[in-house]
């Protein structure tokens, strides 16, 4: 008789102590998901500063000749990589910036450049339309 009741109490305690970390865990995961959404929703400072700058088509042209023609062709007609003549109609500037700096689609490498150079490159790509 005595032993059954003590088992009953133990079960109750296990249930209570097992529930608390579980609740805490679900609370924490909700918080993480919320923070993740907030971070993803905000625009990248690199993208922001590149978009704020005025680009030079001429400088962008030489940057393109130095870094991109090997794969995208001397007139951006496409080679290993796709044609880029109308790329600014198809992709947003933000997407193009991410394509260039993040290396998300191998074999295209990621490039490190100043926001000003990125603005120049974008100005050049816009001039191709």
List residues near ligand HEC by CB under 6 A: 67-68, 70-72, 80-82, 84, 87, 90-91, 96, 99-100, 105, 107-109, 111, 121
User: What DSSP element (H or E) covers 31?
Assistant: helix 2-41
Q: Which is nearer to ligand HEC, 13 or 90 (CB)?
A: 90
Q: Which is nearer to ligand HEC, 47 or 121 (CB)?
A: 121
In whole angstroms, how close is the CB of 59 to ligand HEC at the nearest point?
A: 13
Q: Which is nearer to ligand HEC, 1 or 102 (CB)?
A: 102
In whole angstroms, how close is the CB of 116 to ligand HEC at the nearest point?
A: 14
DSSP states of 46-84: HHHHHHHSPP-HHHHHHHHHHHTHHHH-TTS--SSSPP-
CA atoms of 99 and 89, how far apart (whole Å): 15
């Amino acid at each position: 008789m005595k032993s059954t009741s003590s088992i009953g109490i133990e079960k109750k305690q296990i249930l209570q102590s097992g529930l608390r970390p579980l609740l805490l865990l679900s609370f924490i995961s909700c918080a993480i998901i919320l923070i993740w959404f907030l971070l993803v929703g905000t625009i990248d400072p690199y993208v922001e500063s590149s978009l704020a700058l005025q680009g030079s088509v001429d400088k962008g042209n030489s940057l393109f000749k130095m870094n991109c023609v090997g794969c995208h062709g001397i007139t951006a007609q496409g080679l290993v990589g796709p044609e880029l003549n109308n790329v600014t109609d198809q992709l947003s500037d933000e997407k193009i910036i991410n394509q260039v700096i993040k290396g998300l689609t191998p074999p295209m490498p990621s490039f490190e450049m100043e926001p000003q150079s990125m603005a120049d490159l974008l100005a050049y790509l816009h001039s191709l339309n």
